Structure 1
Amino acid sequence: MSSTTGSPSPDPLDGPLAAADLDALVDEWGDWAQVADLLDVPRTKVGTLLREHRLAAAVPRPGAGQRVPLAFVQDGEVVKGLPGILTVLHDGGYDDRECIAWLFTDLGLPGRPIDALRENRGSEAKRRAQAMAL
């Protein structure tokens, strides 16, 4: 038996992206060491990738520490098109937390922008990111 207590979590597109419940949006998170293993790079390289906006990280829930969505890595590499979208969004004033919320929100592409990127159909996601960053 399920019951609802409290209000539903906010839709990231109805309010500030920074208020989105990232832990509810993102299925799997990895710490820097896990991401480094997936990319077959030293852990320090993950920090470089984050600074260069080739990856994004956030604290998904209190006490969790900074994590990277594992969906950002595919076949041992950063998902194609992700660094470009992250750069566009950062240039538009969005931080990593807001970028992650946007990438994992269903925008009717069909689906979420991260899914479009992983399926090599990221052109529309990039176009929407550019429009949003204006």
Structure 2
Amino acid sequence: MTDSVPSDAAATGADLPGPTDPAGWLTLPDVAERLELSISKVHQLIRDRELIAVRRDGVRRVPADLVANQTVRKHLPGVLNLLADAGYDDEEAVRWLYEPDPTLAGGTPAVALGGDQAREVKRRAQALGF
């Protein structure tokens, strides 16, 4: 069974719980379409910690800005593994990625992953394990 909702657009974070949630969400079928992959490959990306999905409104969703164009953010898998090594579950990892941080370009670690501060985000995630 796959989780699905109409895939016309990313859901907005306004109707979903969490003060540090991303602004937009994609369902797994939406991610598969955007990345031009099968849904089973998307599930594999999540199992391999190359992508993260959490339940919102009973449906597994992926933060939309972590799927850039037709790829997953370059440094996301490394950060997800570092957060897992530090004991973070998926919900906590999403919370950390979207925690406001004015010292990072874009204001959150998730946004900074797409720019020049990706290494800084990885360094901070690594420091959590100590």
Q: TM-score, normalised by structure 2?
A: 0.79
**2:77 is the counterpart of 1:65:** no
**2:35 is the counterpart of 1:39:** yes
The residue type equivalent to 1:97 in the other structure is E
> Contact 2:55 / 2:61 at 8 angstroms: preserved in 1?
yes
State how many pairs are aligned: 112
Q: Which residue of 2 aligns with 1:102?
A: 96
- 3-state DSSP of counterpart to 2:128: helix
The residue type equivalent to 1:109 in the other structure is L
Q: Which residue of 1 aligns with 2:76?
A: 82
Unaligned runs of 5+ in 1: 1-20
**Equivalent residue runs for 1:8-19 within 5 Å:** none
Root-mean-square deviation (Å): 1.5
The residue type equivalent to 2:85 in the other structure is D
CA displacement 1:23-80 (0-9 Å, x = unmatched) = 75211111110001111110111100000000111113xx331111111111200001
In our comparison, the structure showing a higher alpha carbon Rg is 1
- Residue from 78, 103, 113 that aligns with 1:117: 113
Unaligned runs of 5+ in 2: 1-16
Q: Which residue of 2 aligns with 1:16?
A: none
- 3-state DSSP of counterpart to 2:113: helix
> Contact 1:103 / 1:114 at 8 angstroms: preserved in 2?
yes
Higher RCO (CA 8 Å, separation ≥ 6 residues): 1
The residue type equivalent to 1:39 in the other structure is L
> Contact 1:33 / 1:43 at 8 angstroms: preserved in 2?
yes
Greater strand percent: which structure? Answer: 2
CA displacement 1:75-118 (0-9 Å, x = unmatched) = 20000100000001011111111111111112222410111111
> Contact 2:20 / 2:98 at 8 angstroms: preserved in 1?
no
For residues 123 and 18 of structure 2, the distance between their equivalents in structure 1, rounded to whole angstroms, comes to 23
- 3-state DSSP of counterpart to 1:118: coil
